[in-house]
Structure 1
Amino acid sequence: MTEAADIPSVLNDHLVAALNTISAATLTHQLQMRGIRSTFLSGLRALHPEKRMVGRARTLRYVALREDQQPRLAGGLNAQKRVVESIQPGDVLVIEARGVPDAGTIGDIFVTRLVALGGAGIVTDGALRDTPAIADIGVPVYHQASHGSTYGRHHMPYSVDDSVTCAGVFVMAGDVIVGDAEGAVVIPAALVEDVVRDALAQEEKETFALEKVAEGQPTLDLFPLAKERLPEFGAWKASRDAQEGGQK
């Protein structure tokens, strides 16, 4: 198992602040523009749609239950316990549960511990257990279902910080996970700075387009923004920047 301290984090205060303003949809689009099509974690619901989530991915992989291996894999200091106890501030726990909806993958006790260690959120393509209690804890969580059983109904905890497939997306420990009300997206660590730069520029152009459409203008040369409208956009941006600068 890779030690948590050995997993690089590309995040800094500037990137976290920026990612907390950029929609998951914009980030997904930027990754599509780079040829990476499968980054949005499909089929998951946000337990707290009003909360944002940004953090370094830590991974937990569950495998299918096999009774002769259950004592070895599920007992003692198993993978679930190891990953929770190794959480560092800003980590998001990403759980591969094979899309199984009718067995819990994490409950309120382990979530409480994750939050106490500074964890930033949880993503599971399986079920939460103790969902009402986890909702009260307040941490951002993305999950497929809720179920009252423990993981032992269908799962065995198998590995920590291996690459996993969660909700159809390949996730590596150290990737960046961003969540909003729409859902969560995985950004490859090596691309984060470029994606943030271009995503901020994209959202600025979309804000301009939205304002003009709201005024009654057609979308034809606004979305996407036509070359002919770039001078107008530049003037709009300069005025907006000056206003924001004057408010600081």
Structure 2
Amino acid sequence: GDVIVVENPMKGRAYFGDLNAHIAITRGAAGFVTNGFTRDTVEVKCSNFPVYAAGSTCSDVRGVATVESTNQCISLDGVSCCPGDLIFSDQEGTLIIPRRFGNIVIEEALKRVFSESSIRQDILNGSSVSEIV
């Protein structure tokens, strides 16, 4: 599914919460990413819908903001994000990979995962740091 990505110029207000999460789930979205805030964090977490945001607040944008556009390139704190780009998020941050670089980035990431897995196994087998490096 697609990831919903929102550029939030309304600092201190949330564009996304529990009801939005349920709409996204029923429409097959894979997750939500914003440079702004979300709300209803407990309820959203219980829905198991992946949400990555700068923080949370009880204040939403109702009555003070509107959706300006959809399926357009946006900027999240200076990082461009366009429809079709690859999005990878976890608790440590979000990577936005331009679509044209997707295959090579995935290939290099898999190499690193396999390399780190091998190093981890060497550590578990008792190898010293000098042997590993």
TM-score interval (norm. to shorter): 0.7 to 0.9
Counterparts of 1:198 and 1:130, CA distance in 2: 37
Structure 1's unaligned 5+ residue stretches are 1-89, 224-248
Counterparts of 2:29 and 2:38, CA distance in 1: 17
**Residue 168 of structure 1: how far off its partner (Å):** 4.2
* Residue 128, structure 1, aligned to residue 38, structure 2: yes
Aligned runs of 1:94-243 on 2, under 5 Å?
A: 94-98=5-9, 100=11, 102-152=12-62, 155-220=65-130, 222-223=132-133
**Residue 159 of structure 1: how far off its partner (Å):** 1.6
Structure 2's unaligned 5+ residue stretches are none
How high is the TM-score relative to the length of structure 1?
A: 0.48
Which segment drifts farther, 155-164 or 188-197? Answer: 155-164
Q: Describe the SS at the equivalent of 2:46.
A: helix
More helix per residue? 1
Q: What fraction of aligned residue pairs are identical, expressed as a percent?
A: 28
Counterparts of 1:165 and 1:215, CA distance in 2: 45
Contact 2:52 2:90 in 1 (8 A): no
Aligned residue for 1:54?
none
**Residue 162 of structure 1: how far off its partner (Å):** 1.7
Alignment: residue pair count: 133
Counterparts of 2:14 and 2:92, CA distance in 1: 23
Q: Deviations over 1:188-219 (max 9, x none)?
A: 11121122222212221222222223333333
Counterparts of 1:95 and 1:156, CA distance in 2: 12
**Residue 129 of structure 1: how far off its partner (Å):** 2.2
**Residue 99 of structure 1: how far off its partner (Å):** 7.4
Counterparts of 2:78 and 2:63, CA distance in 1: 22
Q: Name the larger-Rg structure.
A: 1
Q: Describe the SS at the equivalent of 1:217.
A: coil
How high is the TM-score relative to the length of structure 2?
A: 0.84
Q: Describe the SS at the equivalent of 1:160.
A: coil
Counterparts of 2:114 and 2:10, CA distance in 1: 36
**Residue 152 of structure 1: how far off its partner (Å):** 4.3
Q: Describe the SS at the equivalent of 2:6.
A: strand
Q: What is the alpha-carbon root mean square deviation over aligned residues? A: 2.2
**Residue 161 of structure 1: how far off its partner (Å):** 1.8
Aligned residue for 1:92?
3
Q: Describe the SS at the equivalent of 2:129.
A: coil
